[in-house]
Structure 1
């Protein structure tokens, strides 16, 4: 898949989370590459859902450097799903199901391992559109992350409060993870 328009300037995110989570387990947990809608539907079907009429299934996702969407169990670490590599986007994807059929998906950029910026949505949207997965055109919830220059603690910015939760040092307004 060729990167188009603004995606040509897409930022690549290196893993910046706890080092102990970056070690690749042996054997590696499964992950699934989603190249088309049918792949997503097959992954959902393999999750052994109940029979409720309306359901939601949440997974860990990453988009790799080749613009490929990968899914893993929600309890999986993004860095393991990415096999330790840099990503163009990472977060959680929730599939909305009606009668066990995929109707649409919602996504967040919630990944404290990669701390992707909200602007990574452009790449996500391009990939979802190419696969044929219906979405709302924006993150369901987006997060801002900053690393404290004083104590190096990773911070999740809430309500525009740019101060470290540990040492109260002022945090940069620009992404610095």
Structure 2
């Protein structure tokens, strides 16, 4: 009987500036013999249409393949949700770069290792946030931290001038590269 398992790859980077990392993921997925590779360059918190498409394509026995855990999930809860979607389709998840091991959630050991790795990754992110907050507090106390300079407010005069000239909100936002919220803040 013929094996009908299909390997479906998913590659993601947060920005288009991460070209080398993006290309490396695609090469690794191709080397693993993924028949179809879904690719996108979006933030982990943005809408990830290609991830949705890759999961939608999964059938019983298929496996979604990613190079690293952080390319797939934001946190433990998100990983749990994705794993539920994948398992509901009768499919598995393969993570290629966990040290020298490949983790395959179609096995009990693979699921255990994945759960431990997701928990450790989330712990590391939370520790990094804590250190960042502590560093900011220390810098503020020393008078070295000023925070991010609001960029949209520097354009408030331009926004007002364009509005007075009759330019529509959408065109102003597009021309100045700002969000709707920034546009209205500039008009206050």
TM-score range, shorter chain: under 0.3
What's the TM-score once normalised by structure 2's chain length?
Answer: 0.25
Which structure has greater helix proportion? 2
Structure of larger gyration radius: 2
TM-score by length of 1: 0.26
Tell which has more relative contact order, 1 or 2 (C-alpha 8 A, sep 6+). 1
